[in-house]
Structure formats: C-alpha cells, structure tokens
Amino acid sequence: MDLKALIRDIPDFPKPGIVFRDITTLLQDPEGFRYTIDSLAEQCAAFSPDYIVGMESRGFIFGAPLAYQLNVGFIPVRKPGKLPGAVHTVEYELEYGIDRLEMHQDAMNGGCRVLIVDDLIATGGTAAATAKLIEQVGCELVGFGFIIELTGLNGRRNLPDVPIVTLVQY
C-alpha cells in the first residue's frame, strides 16, 4: 500500500517554508490505518517489547493499537502537568527553548523491554528525551517505530543505537 498517497502535504504550516505531513488523512482511511498498524506490528514484533511507549499526542494514536496488536502494555508520555501521579521528568531542548516530558513513576519496573512509537521523526529531540525517561527507570530500549521519517533532518543520529523502523521517508 502506498502510505504517501494517504498522507496530505500542507505547505507553509506551521510557518512559511515548512511542508507539514498531515496524518489525519491516513487515519480517516480504515484500510490505510489498519495497514499502518499491521506493518508496524510485523516489523517490530521481533523486538519482543514488554511495553509500547507513545508520546503525546500522535504517539498515542499509533502506540496504543500497536500495543494491542502485540499484546503488550501501553504507557503514555505526556507534557508537564497532565499525569495525576508521581512522575519521572526529562527536559530537552527545542529550537525555540526547553520543554519537558513526564511519565508515571509506577508505569513500569526496571528490566522491562520498551519500544518507543511516534508518528514522525524529524530532529529526534522528543524521541531522544523519551529514551532518557526509559533509561531513568532502568528499562531496556529495544527500538523505535515511526510512521514518517524526515530524512533531511538527520534525526536518527540523535537517537540511541537501537533498531529504528520507519514506514515512509521524505
């Protein structure tokens, strides 16, 4: 299936010169969405994760059904102040400042195997920060799964040396 045909390009969003890869059109297509989750599951099953970790918010969209497909748990990583319990926190740099991500402290025990899933890898900053959260709790990062990779931004070089699955490259 040609997933690129299901991903809409929005020029000059969120600012001039940027081409936004909009996955909402992929999500609207039942066969395309199913193919996406099935493809990720097929390519990531060999990593044998105990948990899928997805980052707010589009990582939830793909991570939760992937966890269901692989029969493993799903753990959300959120922006500050969104989780009700005690959290682990990691700060990371953005091109325009600093941001934070949080994960419940009781989300997983040390020693588990974790696959991080998000819709897109650009510079890799959010995924790298999430990997640091996994490291904080003493779990093993077994890989990353992304729907889209923006290859020109070289995000892979900012990630730990584990397998990276991407379904579409631009």
Instruction: Establish whether 102 is a catalytic residue.
Output: no
Decide the pairing of beta strands 51-55 and 8-11. Answer: unpaired
- Letter string b/e over residues 65-104, b meaning 16 or more CB atoms within 10 A of that residue's CB: bbbebbebebbbbbeeeebeeebbebeeeeeeeeeebbbb
Instruction: Establish whether 58 is a catalytic residue.
Output: yes
d(CA 70, CA 49): 8
Among the options 56, 58, 135, 156, which is catalytic?
Answer: 58
Among the options 21, 34, 42, 95, which is catalytic?
Answer: 95
Task: Give the residue numbers marked as catalytic.
Answer: 58, 95
